[in-house]
Amino acid sequence: MLKLSLKIRNFQYHPHPDDLNRRAPILLLVLLAPLIVAAQIEDSLTAVLERADLPDTVKVNVLNKLAWELKHKTPAKALEYATDAIALAREIGYQKGEGEALSQAGICNTIMGDYTLGLKNFYTALPVLEAAGDERLRANVLNNIGNSHQLRGNNDQAHLFFHRALAVRRKLGDVTALYASLNSLALFFRQLKQYDSAIHYFHEYENLARTQGDLQKLSVVSNNLGLTFRNQEAYDSALMFFQRAMDIKQVLGDKPGIALSLRNIGDVHNERGEYKKALAFYNESLSIREAIGYNLGLTVLLKDMAEMLRRAGSAREALPYAKRSVAIAQESGMKPEEVGALKTLSSIYEELRDYNQSLKVHQQYAMLKDSLLDAEKTRQLSELQVKYETEQKEKELLAKSKAIELLEVRSVAERRVRISLLIAFLFMAGMVVVLYKRYKLKKQAQEELARKNLEIANKNREIEEANKELEKRMLRAQMDPHFIFNCLNGIQHFITANDKHNALRYLSRFSQLVRQVLENSVNTIVPLADELRLLELYIELEALRFGQRFEHEIAVDPEIDIHNVEVPFLLLQPYVENAIQHGLRHRPAGGRLSISLRRSGTNVYCVVEDNGVGRNHARRLGGGRSDHRPRGMALAEQRLTLLNKKQSRKTLVRIEDLNESSRSSGTKVIITIPDQYDD
C-alpha cells in the first residue's frame, strides 16, 4: 500500500521508553519472528529438494518458491536459487518453470539495484512464458518491466508496459492481479502529478472493490484517494476520503488502520495550519497505538507532533514528544529516524533558549549524521570493489576463451590458405573486370548519395525550424490551462463560501478573461495593449478572490505605443501571479502591487513590484524547499529560453528581493523586452 510506504518509513516495533523493561522480551520476539519464519520456510523447502525421488519439474518449482520467499530478506541467496532453477528448467525443457525463474531473478536483480540485468531477465522471460502459454505469469513480468522502467525514470516505457499488463489481466479476468495493475497505473500517474489520470484509475479500483464487496481494498483506495487530493491541496476532499477509510477500518475492527487514518487526518489539519485539530487527531492515534502496542512509525509520529508544536509556538509542549521520539529511535537502533528526531530536539531547545542543551543535542545529531554518511560510503565502496573484481575475472575468462578460439581459427585457416591461393589465381583476371565495374557503379552511387544527403539536410533544417515553433506553442499551451485553473480555484472559493454575489462578479470577469485568452491563443506575439488588458482582468479576479487585501497600479510611459509594441503572449502574467500567490496572499492587509513600463532606447523595461512577504518567507510557508520553482514561472523561463534562441535581441528577466529593517519586504521583477522581435 502506497499510503503505508509514504507515512510509515520503517516498519519496526518501537518500545515505549517508560515501559521498556516490561516489553523487552516481546520486542525481541517481534524482531526475530520474520527471521524465524523465513528460516523455517527455507529449511522445509531445502529438505524437499534433498529427496532423491523428486521429479525435476517439482525441483524447479521448489527453487522458484525459495527465491520468492527469500527475495526481500536475502536477495543474493534468492538469486542463487533462481539461477539454479533457470539452468535445471532449460536442461529439462520446462518453459513455464524457466520463465518464472527468469522473473524471480529479475526481481532479485532489481532489489539489489542492478536494474539493467533485471530488465534483461524480464525481457528474456517474456517469449519463454508466451511459448509456455502462461498469460498470468507473462502479465506479472510485463508489470515488473513497467516498475523497472519507472525506477530508471523511463516513464514512457513504464506507461506502455503497465498498460500491456493491464490489458492481459482484463482479458484473463484475474481480479487480484487487476487490483495490482490499476494501483500501479494510479500511483505512476500520481508520481508524475497527472492527478486526473491517477484519480481515474483509483476510481476504477474502487468500483472493482465495491463489486467484489472487498472492504479491505475499499479502505486502501480511500486512503490513496485522500493522499492524491492532499497532494493537490484539495483538503476538504482529502478529509472526506480519509474519514471514509477510517469508517471502513472501524467496521473491520482494524485498530492499527484506525490509528493510521487518524494520523492522516491530523496531517491534513497540520498542513492547513489548524494545529489544535491536528494535535487532537495525533493524540487519538497515539492513544490507540499505546493501547494495542502498535508502535510502527511511532518515532516519526512523535517527531512530527513535536515539530508541529514548535512551529505553532509551543516549544515547551513539544519538548516531551521530541525527547520520546529520540529515546524510541535509540532503543530500536533506528539511526536515520534518530537523526531527524535529534535535529528537531535541538531546534526546540534553541527556541527555549537552552543553548547549552541545544548545542549538545546538535553535536549528537552531527556525529550520527556523519557516521551514517561514512557507513553508506563504505558500503558503496565495497560494492564497487566487488563489481570491479567480478569484471576483472570476467575479462580474464573472456581473454582465455578468445585465445582458444584464435588457435582453432588459425588451424583451420592454414588448411584453407593453399586452396584459397589457387582459387584466387584462377579468378584474378575476372575479378579485375568486376572490380572496375563496381568502381564505376560505386562512384555513381556516391554521387547519388551526396545529392540525397543534401536534400535530407535541407529537409532536416525545415523540420528543426518547425519543431522549435511547435515546442514554443506546446509550452504556451501548458501555461494557458495552468493560468485558467488558478482562476477556477477562485470561483470554487466563493461557491464554497456561499458568496453568490462575488461568485457572479468573479464569473463575469472570468468569462471576459477566457474570451481574451481564446482570442489570442493562436498568436505567439500580441500587442502590449492586449497583454495589459489581460493582466488588468487577472489582477481584478485575484483581488476579488482575496477580499481586496491588496491594491494595484499599472503605469505606462507615454512614450510607449502599446498598440504597436508587441510582446510574447502571457509573458508578464506568471510574474504577476507569483507576486500575488506567493507574496501578497500571505499579507492580511495593506498589500500593494505595482506594474510600471518605460522605454529606454530600443528596449521596454517592465517592473513588477510587490510588498509581500518575500521569497524566503514564502518558501518557509510552502514547506521550506529552497529549490522549488512555481510552475507558471518555470514555464515562462522555458518559453523565454526558446524565444531567445531565435532572436538577435534577448528578452531578459532579473528578480530582486526588497529588504526593509533587515527582513524581506517584497520582490521586484525587472523584465527587459525588445521593442521589436525578429520574424
Q: Residues 402-419: pLDDT tens digits?
A: 766 676 677 677 778 778
Q: Crossing angle, helix 235-252 and helix 255-271, to 10 degrees? A: 170
Work out the average pLDDT over 419-429: 82
Q: Which residues contact 190 (CB under 8 A, 6 or more apart)?
A: 198, 227, 228, 231
Q: What's the pLDDT band for 480 if we cut at 50, 70, 90?
A: low
Report the pLDDT value the prediction gives residue 227, as an integer from 0 to 100: 94
- Residue 599's domain spans which residues? 462-674
How far apart are the C-alpha atoms of 35 and 108, rounded to whole Å?
A: 18
Report the pLDDT value the prediction gives residue 413, as an integer from 0 to 100: 76
Q: Which residues contact 38 (CB under 8 A, 6 or more apart)?
A: 69, 70, 73
- Contact call for residues 593 and 610 (beta carbons, < 8 A): yes
Work out the average pLDDT over 463-480: 55
On whether residue 614 sits in a domain, the answer given is yes
Residue 567: exposure state from Cβ atoms within 10 A (0-12, 13-18, ≥19) = buried
Side by side, the strands of the sheet bearing 603-610 are: 550-556, 591-600, 603-610, 663-674, 652-660
Q: What's the pLDDT band for 261 if we cut at 50, 70, 90?
A: very high
Query: Is the pLDDT confidence value at 27 over 60?
Result: no
Closest by Cα among 654, 562, 563, 571 to 599: 562
23 grid coordinates: 516489553
Query: Is the pLDDT confidence value at 130 over 60?
Result: yes
Report the pLDDT value the prediction gives residue 106, as an integer from 0 to 100: 94
Give the total number of structural domains in the chain. Answer: 2
How far apart are the C-alpha atoms of 23 and 16, rounded to whole Å?
A: 8
On whether residue 412 sits in a domain, the answer given is no
Condensed to tens digits (0 to 9), the pLDDT of residues 606-651 reads 999 998 887 777 777 765 555 556 666 777 788 788 878 878 888 8
Closest by Cα among 656, 679, 671 to 603: 671
Q: Strands 591-600 and 550-556, how do they pair?
A: parallel
DSSP state of 603: E
pTM of the model: 0.49
CATH number at residue 271: 1.25.40.10
- Among residues 292, 313, 346, which one ends one of the domains? 292
Condensed to tens digits (0 to 9), the pLDDT of residues 529-545 reads 988 998 998 898 888 88
Q: What's the pLDDT band for 2 if we cut at 50, 70, 90?
A: very low
Q: What's the pLDDT band for 401 if we cut at 50, 70, 90?
A: low
How far apart are the C-alpha atoms of 78 and 55, rounded to whole Å?
A: 21
Report the pLDDT value the prediction gives residue 356, as an integer from 0 to 100: 92
How far apart are the C-alpha atoms of 262 and 474, rounded to whole Å?
A: 43
On whether residue 61 sits in a domain, the answer given is no
On whether residue 394 sits in a domain, the answer given is no
CA atoms within 13 A on the CB side of 327: 13
On whether residue 74 sits in a domain, the answer given is no
Closest by Cα among 199, 219, 200 to 209: 219
Average pLDDT of the chain to the nearest whole number: 81
Helix (H) / strand (E) containing 606: strand 603-610
Work out the average pLDDT over 248-267: 92
Q: Which residues contact 641 (CB under 8 A, 6 or more apart)?
A: none
Report the pLDDT value the prediction gives residue 43, as an integer from 0 to 100: 78
- Among residues 265, 292, 319, which one ends one of the domains? 292
Work out the average pLDDT over 186-201: 94
On whether residue 521 sits in a domain, the answer given is yes
Work out the average pLDDT over 433-460: 84
Higher pLDDT, 525 or 384: 525
Helix (H) / strand (E) containing 551: strand 550-556
How far apart are the C-alpha atoms of 594 and 584, rounded to whole Å?
A: 12
Q: What's the pLDDT band for 23 if we cut at 50, 70, 90?
A: very low
Report the pLDDT value the prediction gives residue 32, as an integer from 0 to 100: 40
Q: What's the pLDDT band for 447 if we cut at 50, 70, 90?
A: confident
Among 229-238, 240-249, 292-301, 428-437, which is the least confidently predicted range?
A: 292-301
Higher pLDDT, 605 or 505: 605
How far apart are the C-alpha atoms of 566 and 568, rounded to whole Å?
A: 7
- Report the sign of the C-alpha dihedral through residues 620, 623, 629, 633, in that order: negative
Q: What's the pLDDT band for 120 if we cut at 50, 70, 90?
A: very high
How far apart are the C-alpha atoms of 101 and 60, rounded to whole Å?
A: 8
Closest by Cα among 572, 498, 560, 494 to 533: 572
On whether residue 219 sits in a domain, the answer given is yes
In Å, how far from its chain's centre is CA 159? 14
Condensed to tens digits (0 to 9), the pLDDT of residues 156-188 reads 999 999 999 999 999 999 899 999 999 999 999
Work out the average pLDDT over 496-501: 79
CB atoms within 10 A of CB 445: 11
Cell 575479462 identifies what position? 395
How far apart are the C-alpha atoms of 259 and 249, rounded to whole Å?
A: 9
CB atoms within 10 A of CB 279: 20
Q: What's the pLDDT band for 219 if we cut at 50, 70, 90?
A: very high
Report the pLDDT value the prediction gives residue 1, as an integer from 0 to 100: 31
59 grid coordinates: 525441483
596 grid coordinates: 510600471
In Å, how far from its chain's centre is CA 185? 13
DSSP state of 675: S
- Among residues 273, 292, 311, which one ends one of the domains? 292
DSSP state of 556: E
Higher pLDDT, 513 or 355: 355
Query: Is the pLDDT confidence value at 324 over 70?
Result: yes
Q: 113-127, 414-428, 480-494: which has the highest mean pLDDT?
A: 113-127
Helix (H) / strand (E) containing 198: helix 195-212
How far apart are the C-alpha atoms of 337 and 368, rounded to whole Å?
A: 11
Query: Is the pLDDT confidence value at 21 over 80?
Result: no
Work out the average pLDDT over 358-385: 75
On whether residue 456 sits in a domain, the answer given is no
Cα–Cα–Cα angle for 93, 95, 97, rounded to 5 degrees: 105
How far apart are the C-alpha atoms of 177 and 138, rounded to whole Å?
A: 12
Closest by Cα among 592, 631, 587, 632 to 610: 592
Q: What is the dihedral of CA 615, 617, 621, 622, to 10 degrees?
A: 30
Report the pLDDT value the prediction gives residue 162, as an integer from 0 to 100: 93
How far apart are the C-alpha atoms of 459 and 466, rounded to whole Å?
A: 11
Q: Is 676 helix (H, G, I), strand (E, B) or coil?
A: coil
DSSP state of 44: H
How far apart are the C-alpha atoms of 673 and 166, rounded to whole Å?
A: 51
Query: Is the pLDDT confidence value at 385 over 60?
Result: no
Among 23-37, 319-333, 510-524, 623-637, which is the least confidently predicted range?
A: 23-37
CATH number at residue 486: 3.30.565.10
Higher pLDDT, 145 or 26: 145
